[in-house]
Amino acid sequence: MSQMATQNYLMAAGNMEPSKPLALLIPGLDGTGKLYYRQIEALSARFRVRACEFKQCASSGLHDLVDDLVRDTAGEAPKSIVVVGDSFGGTVAMLFVLACPERVRSLALINAFPYYRRRFRIFLGCYLAPLLRWPGVKSVKDFIVDRELKSQGILQDDRMRYREVVKLVGFAGYRRRLELVREVNLLGQLDRIHVPTYLFAAGRDRIVPAVEEGHLMAARIPRSTLFEFPRAGHALLLTPGFCLGDYL
């Protein structure tokens, strides 16, 4: 059995129909897959939806995450999988497409990056991550994140659910994924991604310079289309009115 767990958010009959293509949803740094919850119902009308959860391991590498996905999708028909990656998950999604292009129908990247340019920020994040074990520090972080989400128009119910999801994030796995961001460099491989690719970039993303990265990837990925959302932030998946299924 693969170590990549599947989150079953919607027990709809349509989600169980084997004739539908698979929508493989790859999470960001949270690693839970649960932040796709607003998108599941619309996607399930056309796809079998699988929101993945990264294993909570302090030693996993990028290729370990990709290998889990490769094993989990081994029985899918050729050119049938719609691969979606959010933020850090976009890196994993691109690596999966590069590893198994014959399985992929299309690729969607949400506030993603082929190389994280803010090197000092990620270094600082890795260095300070152990402080999140302290309740006081975690409370301050949660307060700041909640204010940021509110400023981006994220509704209160969604902010509360976001906090509940974050409580489930394992510290060791989260810190390891932060470290993996420093290893990412797909700049020289973007032109090898030949599946139709949809790029979603939020103009108010304070974590990833999403619009800049979106334009860079659009220029290098041959069959790509860029969609910009000037008023949205990093949590585009939770933004009212954004429906991934409308684009796929």
Write down the pLDDT at residue 131: 58
Write down the pLDDT at residue 241: 95
pLDDT classification of 146: cutoffs 50, 70, 90: confident
pLDDT classification of 7: cutoffs 50, 70, 90: very low
Residue 4 has pLDDT above 60, yes or no: no
Write down the pLDDT at residue 172: 81
* pLDDT tens digits along 206-227: 999 999 999 999 999 999 999 9
Task: Please count the other Cβ atoms lying within 10 Å of the Cβ belonging to residue 134.
Answer: 10
pLDDT classification of 178: cutoffs 50, 70, 90: confident
pTM for the full predicted model: 0.86
Pick the closest to residue 96 from 117, 116, 76 (CA basis). Answer: 76
C-alpha distances in Å from residue 51, one per residue of 7, 31, 136:
5, 10, 32
Mean pLDDT score, 167-190: 88
Lowest mean pLDDT among 32-46, 129-143, 180-194, 224-238: 129-143
Write down the pLDDT at residue 15: 46
**Three-class DSSP category at 181:** helix
- The radius of gyration of the chain from alpha carbons, rounded to an integer in Å, stands at 17
Helix ranges (H only) for 155-234 are 156-167, 171-181, 210-220
Task: Please count the other Cβ atoms lying within 10 Å of the Cβ belonging to residue 138.
Answer: 14
Write down the pLDDT at residue 127: 54
Please provide the CATH number assigned to the domain covering 5-246.
3.40.50.1820
**Secondary structure letter of residue 190 according to DSSP:** G
pLDDT classification of 3: cutoffs 50, 70, 90: very low
The amino acid occupying position 27 is P
Q: Are 206 and 151 in contact (CB under 8 A)?
A: no
Q: Are 32 and 6 in contact (CB under 8 A)?
A: no
* pLDDT tens digits along 76-92: 999 999 999 999 999 99
Write down the pLDDT at residue 183: 87
Residue 244 has pLDDT above 70, yes or no: yes
Mean pLDDT score, 152-172: 90
Mean pLDDT score, 13-32: 81
Q: What is the mean pLDDT of the chain?
A: 87
**HSE-CB of 5 using CA atoms within 13 angstroms:** 12
Residues 6+ apart with CB under 8 A from 38: 158, 237, 238, 242
Check residues 21 and 134 and name the one with the higher pLDDT.
21
